[in-house]
Amino acid sequence: MVNIEQPKGKLGVLTPGMGAVATTFIAGVIAVRRGIAKPIGSLTQMGTIRLGKRTEKRVPKIKDFVPLADLNDLVFGGWDIFEDNVYEAALKAGVLKTDLLNQIKSDIEQIAPMPAVFDQNYVKKLHGTHVKKAKTKYDYAQLLIEDIQNFKKSNQLDRLVMIWCASTEVYLKPQPIHESLSAFEQAMKENHPGIAPSMIYAYAAIAAGVPFANGAPNLTVDIPALIEFARQQQVPIAGKDFKTGQTLMKTIIAPGLKARLLGLHGWFSTNILGNRDGEVLDDPESFKTKEESKLSVLEYILQPEVYPDLYHKFYHKVRINYYPPRGDNKEGWDNIDIFGWLGYPMQIKVDFLCRDSILAAPIVLDLALFMDLAQRCKMKGIQEWLSFYFKSPLVASGLYPEHDLFIQLMKLKNTLRYLKGEELITHLGLEYYD
């Protein structure tokens, strides 16, 4: 059993990016606190965990099993490239209904973003007006550290977490400057193009002792320099890319195909969406970052090298199309060509009319609470047990990421059991038949 510090006092939740996802999360939590709505989709708020044998019938809610911060103790803040407060930004995002926002207007219009660190070279479709000015990327990091410290002091907070909710940046490959903390810091001082804004936020969070989770497919903390820094500072990090929409469905369907040993000829996926995310992904360089995240899922789940008769050289294509009339209501089509007994072909077609920010908001909440829990348990560095929430989970060097949603959930719950000194669940069950 691990010694877990109790969640005393207030927890600040900082989000770089206060657009559709962040405002849906913040307004949603406040609506839940007011008793206006339920936290549907949140494992920390509605999920349960089995303890011991099935015959014991011990199935508490997760929030009653591990000491998580109470929703009433959360304080919200963040940065954005536009000045709109949370009420104004939520209205513009068009995710939540105006009558709901009006019910909580007095709470959310008080939450306004701090000026952001922004460079249009990394998000070419956006034009930020509410931005910081500094000479070097290292100077920008120091400004963010000041923001974090001031936010904590002015709101009388005990602890903080940071969840990246901003846009997808252009595709970056790992470079020598990412290999060590000293090289990374020198590169920041020299304004090296290999240092993206998301990396500056991550660096600032870790430097300030604040857990950091990356909700976009950006490289960000997925580099040796910041992994080393997080361990050095004893700060939890997690990522990357919130698992919502089409990829969520892939991590549900693909494990089923593999479990039944059904073969795959091809999987064609296309999306239309019209929010700010869709506009950003209309740029080929940002789309490349997202595409890499989406394409990796099937390879890791299906393991073609282990099952060559079933999955060798299957065709996988992903398309994202910006279509403004759809707003945040994304539609994802999947055509899946499979084959079964004796090689006979079959098809599965999925048309998922989802709401991207509605699926992402409970992920932000759960990550905020679980990352805070991890820090109070003295867990540092990569938190692989939170892979459940990401399209491209961070893992230790030399490991492949686990993408199967059901294995990810088992890993998460077994981690909670371990923290509390409970028996890990393997689902063997032979003892019932001795």
HSE-CB for 22 with a 13 A CA cutoff: 34
Question: What secondary structure does DSSP assign to 277-295, as a single string?
Answer: HHHHHTSHHHHHHHHHHHH
At residue 114, what are phi and psi to the nearest 5 degrees? Answer: -80, 155
Confidence band of 285 (pLDDT split at 50, 70, 90): confident
The pLDDT tens digits for 96-152 are 999 999 999 999 999 999 999 999 999 988 899 999 999 999 999 999 999 999 999
> How many other C-beta atoms are found inside a 10 Å radius of the C-beta of residue 246?
23
DSSP-derived letter for residue 325 is G
Q: Distance between CA atoms of 330 and 333, rounded to whole angstroms?
A: 10
Looking at the predicted structure, is the pLDDT value of residue 282 above 80? no
Gap between the Cα atoms of 396 and 213, Å rounded = 16
Find where tokens 């936290």 sit: 39
> Helices (H) and strands (E) in the chain — how many of each?
16, 11
Q: Which helix (H) or strand (E) holds 353?
A: strand 345-353
Domains of the chain: 11-242+357-419 (3.40.50.720), 246-353 (3.30.360.10)
What average pLDDT is seen over the chain? 95
* Of 83, 76, 152, the residue nearest 108 (C-alpha): 76
Each residue's pLDDT tens digit, 286-337: 777 767 766 789 999 999 999 999 999 999 999 989 888 888 888 999 999 9
> How far apart, in whole angstroms, are the C-alpha atoms of residue 124 and residue 281?
10
Phi, psi of 249 (to 5 degrees): -65, -35
The answer to whether residue 278 scores a pLDDT higher than 80 is no
Cα-Cα-Cα-Cα dihedral of 14, 17, 20, 23, to 10°? 30
State yes or no: pLDDT of 1 exceeds 90. no
CA 110 vs CA 2, 211, 273: distances in Å = 39, 25, 30
**pLDDT tens digits along 382-410:** 999 999 999 999 999 999 999 999 999 99
Summarize pLDDT for 172-207 with one digit per residue, the tens. 999 999 999 999 999 999 999 999 999 999 999 999
Q: Which of 40, 12, 10, 44 is nearest to 24 (CA)?
A: 40
Give the Cβ contact number of residue 374 at 10 Å: 23
Cα 25 off chain centre by: 12
Check residue 290 and give its pLDDT.
Answer: 67
Tokens of 136: 């070097």
